[in-house]
């Protein structure tokens, strides 16, 4: 009998359908792999399984009972998120039983002794190398990871354990130890959901796999007899749609190099070298955490480089100076629109004009006439929909905020533009508007870097694609002559990558 059954679940957010008629059935004593590219809907599905997200349609049955009607059933699902979220300065036992009133230790005073005795049971069961009274910051990362699993599991008798990329910060040995624990849990009759991008893990652990793509379930397959190639094809969608392409038309002069990065090493990546030519759209493919954004932000001066250099038209960009990079003609549009893009307390007008205030000066003073005309020009050109320019930008939709920010960047007339996931959380119509803007700029001679986790987006826009895995570049491919399976292979660190260009 299935422990957990999800049927025809649908969840939409304004402008995006995150899940569209997804089915999932978990059997006890099986490890179920959840596979799919970034943005395929895995995390929304997990949130549905744990009760954090209530679906618009569909049913969630836990041991045959309707969990959407009775939320307490979700306590049988143990969930371990990807990032460690422990209290580093508290003890192992304290971390395990927080919040205390839920675990039965929340009396007037907390008996350290009783709690530590209880904790040592779990420490043994999960094979954690730590004493209950030890401070968490002093135990190894893998033990912290195991502690996190133990914490999720010690609440109730859990029936399902969900692990979201649990090995992303572990070494090979630590991973092996973790896998032994996971198989022991499986053999004791627990249903396990395992999310990973790493092929070797998927194939060594999985009993069943469900593949998601663009919020739909492609299907559920037994892992027996599945090949790596097949799985990659299922994830990426072998039939790439013959839709509109946005590569810049016209020839690119190979010797006309705008930006040259040489052996750049910084936070989370090392020894990255590449060149950007005038008029090309250079794609950067990779998984979340591959180091793509870090490379861009370091080039731009937001982070300090440890070694290496970036030459812009033959002149070195000074390290750690975003103002100099901008002055030289480079603009970076961050993936984190909320944290790095908009100024929430300022109006649409102030948000847009901020990058070009120097152009609006008349005798050191901002000329409101010039400001008005530049802002309204930008709003018109980039189709920013707002009832008034005096409105605070946070009241605009995500897509319109993004267009306002792109417009702000364009107003500076940059020579190099870095788009970091420019279409994240944006509906399809706006997406294509942004593609058209990129194409037009490239044709005007701007060098464009497009960081994207969506393969279809890169294939639709980029002329060349650089792949990254684990903080290193793993290849450089000419878009026109490379198939998607090769690219997916390169971003998940598959051993054989063919260098085409």
Distance (Å, rounded) from C-alpha 76 to C-alpha 485? Answer: 38
Distance (Å, rounded) from C-alpha 440 to C-alpha 259? Answer: 20
User: Cβ 387 to other proteins, closest distance in Å?
Assistant: 15
Residue 451 binding other proteins, by CB under 8 A: no
Cis peptide before 365 (omega within 30 of 0): no
Q: Which C-beta is closer to other proteins: that of 236 or that of 293?
A: 293
Q: Which of 325, 441, 466, 490 forms a contact with other proteins (CB under 8 A)?
A: 325
Which residues lie below 8 Å from residue 309, measured CB to CB, with a gap of 6+?
261, 262, 263, 264, 316, 317
Q: Which C-beta is closer to other proteins: that of 157 or that of 336?
A: 336
- Of the CA atoms within 13 Å of residue 170, those in its CB half-sphere come to 22
Q: Which C-beta is closer to other proteins: that of 401 or that of 439?
A: 401
Residue 372 binding other proteins, by CB under 8 A: no
Q: What are phi and psi of 8, to 5 degrees?
A: 45, 45
Closest alpha carbon to 161 in 82, 50, 52, 72: 50
Residue 341 binding other proteins, by CB under 8 A: yes
Q: Which C-beta is closer to other proteins: that of 87 or that of 343?
A: 343
Residue 365 binding other proteins, by CB under 8 A: yes
Residue 413 binding other proteins, by CB under 8 A: no
Q: Which of 14, 99, 364, 429 forms a contact with other proteins (CB under 8 A)?
A: 364
Q: Which C-beta is closer to other proteins: that of 255 or that of 387?
A: 387
Is residue 189 within 8 Å of residue 179, measured between CB atoms? no
Q: For residue 362, give the 3-state DSSP assignment.
A: strand
Q: Which of 117, 240, 366, 428 forms a contact with other proteins (CB under 8 A)?
A: 366
Q: Residues binding other proteins: what is the number (CB under 8 A)?
A: 27
Q: Which C-beta is closer to other proteins: that of 224 or that of 323?
A: 323
User: Cβ 364 to other proteins, closest distance in Å?
Assistant: 6
- Two tokens at 109? 């005073």
Residue 257 binding other proteins, by CB under 8 A: no
Q: Which C-beta is closer to other proteins: that of 81 or that of 425?
A: 425
Distance (Å, rounded) from C-alpha 313 to C-alpha 259? Answer: 6
User: Cβ 322 to other proteins, closest distance in Å?
Assistant: 5
Q: Which C-beta is closer to other proteins: that of 221 or that of 332?
A: 332
Residue 100 binding other proteins, by CB under 8 A: no
Q: Residues 271-300: x/- map of binding to other proteins (CB under 8 A)? A: -----------------------------x
Q: What are phi and psi of 200, to 5 degrees?
A: -60, -35
User: Cβ 342 to other proteins, closest distance in Å?
Assistant: 7
Distance (Å, rounded) from C-alpha 72 to C-alpha 192? Answer: 20
Dihedral over Cα of 458, 459, 460, 463: its sign: positive
Neighbours of 296 (CB within 10 A): 21
Q: Which C-beta is closer to other proteins: that of 300 or that of 477?
A: 300
Residue 322 binding other proteins, by CB under 8 A: yes
31-35 β-sheet, strand order: 77-80, 160-164, 191-195, 31-35, 208-213, 216-222
Q: Which stretch binds other proteins (CB under 8 A): 8-16, 76-84, 201-209, 332-340?
A: 332-340
Q: Which of 99, 173, 255, 339 forms a contact with other proteins (CB under 8 A)?
A: 339
Q: Which residues of 98-120 are buried (b: 16+ CB within 10 A; e: fewer)?
A: beeeebebeeeeeeeeebbebbb
Residues that bind other proteins (CB under 8 A): 300, 302, 322-323, 325-327, 332, 334, 339-346, 350, 353-355, 357-358, 361, 364-366
């Amino acid at each position: 009998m299935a422990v957990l059954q999800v049927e025809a679940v649908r969840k939409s957010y304004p402008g995006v359908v995150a899940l569209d008629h997804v089915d999932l059935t978990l059997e006890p004593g099986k490890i179920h792999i959840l596979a799919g590219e970034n943005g395929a809907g895995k995390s929304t599905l997990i949130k549905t399984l744990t009760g954090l997200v209530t679906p618009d349609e569909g049913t969630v049955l836990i041991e045959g009972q309707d969990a959407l009607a009775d939320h307490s059933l979700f306590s049988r699902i143990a969930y371990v998120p990807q990032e460690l979220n422990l209290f580093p300065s508290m003890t192992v036992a304290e971390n395990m039983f927080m919040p205390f009133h839920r675990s039965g230790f929340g009396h007037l005073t907390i008996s350290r002794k009783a709690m530590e005795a209880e904790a040592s049971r779990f420490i043994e069961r999960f094979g954690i190398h730590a004493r209950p009274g030890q401070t968490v910051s002093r135990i190894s990362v893998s033990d912290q990871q195991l502690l996190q699993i133990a914490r999720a599991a010690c609440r109730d008798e859990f029936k399902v354990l969900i692990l979201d990329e649990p090995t992303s910060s572990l070494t090979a040995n630590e991973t092996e130890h973790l896998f032994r624990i996971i198989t022991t849990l499986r053999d004791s009759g627990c249903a396990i959901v395992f999310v990973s991008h790493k092929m070797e893990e998927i194939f060594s652990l999985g009993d069943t796999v469900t593949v998601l793509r663009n919020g739909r379930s492609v299907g559920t397959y037994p892992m027996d007899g599945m090949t790596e190639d097949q799985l990659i094809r299922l994830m990426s969608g072998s039939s790439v749609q013959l839709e509109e392409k946005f590569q810049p038309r016209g020839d690119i002069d190979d010797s006309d190099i705008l930006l040259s990065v040489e052996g750049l090493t910084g936070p989370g990546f090392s020894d990255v070298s590449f060149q950007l030519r005038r008029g090309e759209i250079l794609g950067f493919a990779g998984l979340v955490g591959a180091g793509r954004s870090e490379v861009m932000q370091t080039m731009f001066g937001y982070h300090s480089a440890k070694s290496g250099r970036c030459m812009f038209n033959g002149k070195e960009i000074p390290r750690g100076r975003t103002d100099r990079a901008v002055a030289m003609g480079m603009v970076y549009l961050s993936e984190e629109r909320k944290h790095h893009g908009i100024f929430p307390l300022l109006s649409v007008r102030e948000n847009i004009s901020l990058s070009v205030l120097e152009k609006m000066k008349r005798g050191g003073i901002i000329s409101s006439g010039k400001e008005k005309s530049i802002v309204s020009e930008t709003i018109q050109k980039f189709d920013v929909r707002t009832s008034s320019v005096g409105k605070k930008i946070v009241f605009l939709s995500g897509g319109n905020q993004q267009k306002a920010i792109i417009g702000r960047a364009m107003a500076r007339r940059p020579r190099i533009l870095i788009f970091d996931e420019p279409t994240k959380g944006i509906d399809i119509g706006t997406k294509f508007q942004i593609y058209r803007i990129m194409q037009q700029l490239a044709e005007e001679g701007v060098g464009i870097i497009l960081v994207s986790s969506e393969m279809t987006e890169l294939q639709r826009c980029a002329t060349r694609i650089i792949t990254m895995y684990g903080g290193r570049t793993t290849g450089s491919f000419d878009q026109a002559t490379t198939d998607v399976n090769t690219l997916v292979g390169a971003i998940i660190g598959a051993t054989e990558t063919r260098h085409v260009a």
